[in-house]
Amino acid sequence: MKTLTLYQPWATLVAIGAKRIETRSWKTDYRGALAIQAGRKMPVDALELILAEPFRSCLGRNKMPMGFIVTIVELVGCRRIDEVASFPACKNVFADGHKYDLNPQERAFGDYSVGRYMWLLEGLTILDNPIPAKGMQGLWDYWEELR
C-alpha cells in the first residue's frame, strides 16, 4: 500500500478528519488508498503550533503517536495551488465529485504558496491500533496489507 509520512500534528489532524487537504511541493499521479504514517520526530515549531488555534481546539485530547501508521485515506486528486493562492477569495476546490472547503482552519493546516500542490483526501479509515512503521520521504510502499 502506498504510504506518506507526515510530521505530527498534521498526521493526527488527517486521522481525525480535521485536515482533508495535504499540501506538498510535488505532485503525484497516484490515486487510491494511502496510509498516513506519523514521523518519529516532531519539528520544534510544531510544539508551538499545537498550543495555538486552530490546532489546539481541533486536536483536543487526541494522542499524537509518532512512528506509527495512524490512518488510511483515499487520495482522490492533486491540484496545483496557484489559482487558490492568486485568488484568496477562492473558497472551494472540487475533484472527482468531492468538494473541499478552503476555510481558515484548512488553510492554517497547510502551506498554500504558489507552486505547491493540494493532495485531496477522502474516505477516512480509523485504525483502532496504530501500526508501528518506519517512515520515509516521498510516497513509499508499506509491505503489509492494512485493510
> pLDDT tens digit string along 28-49?
999 999 999 999 999 999 999 9
**Entry pTM:** 0.90
Q: Which residue has the cell 519539528?
A: 43
Residue pLDDT, tens place only, 6-29: 999 999 999 999 999 999 999 999
Q: Provide the pLDDT for residue 146.
A: 56
Q: Provide the pLDDT for residue 85.
A: 65
Q: Provide the pLDDT for residue 143.
A: 77
Of 2.30.130.30, 3.40.50.261, 2.40.50.140, 1.10.3720.10, the CATH number of 2-132 is 2.30.130.30
Q: Provide the pLDDT for residue 19.
A: 96
Q: Give per-residue burial for 76-104: e unless 16+ CB within 10 Å, then b.
A: bbbbebeebeeeeeeeebeeeeeebebee
Q: Provide the pLDDT for residue 145.
A: 57
Q: Where are the domains of the chain?
A: 2-132
Residue pLDDT, tens place only, 109-135: 999 888 999 999 999 898 889 999 999
Is the pLDDT score of 70 beyond 90? yes
Q: Provide the pLDDT for residue 102.
A: 85
